[in-house]
Amino acid sequence: MKLSIAYDNEAKEGFISGWGFSCFIATGDDSILFDTGWDGCVLLQNLKALDISPKDIEKVVISHQHWDHMGGLTVLLNANPDLEVYVPASYSKQLKNEIAARAKLVEVSGKQEICHNVYTTGELGSDVKEQSLLLDSSDGVYIVTGCAHPGLTEIMGVASQFKKVAGIIGGLHGTTEYDLLEGLDLIASCHCTVHKEEIRKRFPDAYMAIGVASVLEL
């Protein structure tokens, strides 16, 4: 699998940064965009610079109902009306109706398969309902998070039901559950992660700084 960061607070030269997160995942058979950042025009410009066309995207998975993770969806739907959009079932009825009028809407409650080797944890958490993606590889499961609002204990608990957790990619918000990161092969934290420097110091061999235009191959 190949993961390309398309939206983040940090960006490599020639790309545009912005508060939010988006990651394009190419499995070889399917293509998924996880979250859409806030500004759809910035998202499309970064995708173009990554040589990814909106038409290349088959499925969109929105982690949770915060502006910086789903704001770019309307622009993306204008660029590609043939999308499947996966949202937590607890999403507002009005937003679900708007999406359903423009795309194939899939409401997610429990863990389920998105496509071959890609699963959702299902919506987790209490205050903020959020889903993460699980990428099944020969090394173990890699988790892709939007903000990890439900906490690593809950997210990794679901992931470990599949197989050993090998790594985590995305926003980790204010987590201090450092013991759960012990032994991971990859910790690529970005976006809203408050304690990046502490994570880097604790896990120098696993930590990877990422931003827009970062590419990871699993």
Cα 36 to Cα 60, 90, 139, 178, 198: the distances in Å are 8, 19, 28, 28, 27
Calpha distance 12→78 (Å, rounded)? 27
pLDDT of residue 173: 96
pLDDT value at position 97? Answer: 97
Structure tokens of 190?
A: 């970005």
Cα dihedral across residues 199, 141, 54, 38: positive or negative: negative
- pTM, two decimal places: 0.97
Inter-residue contact 6 to 17 (CB < 8 Å): no
| Predicted pLDDT of residue 215 | 98
State which residues of the chain have pLDDT below 70.
none
Domains of the chain with CATH codes: 2-217 (3.60.15.10)
What integer pLDDT is reported at residue 169 of this predicted model?
Answer: 98
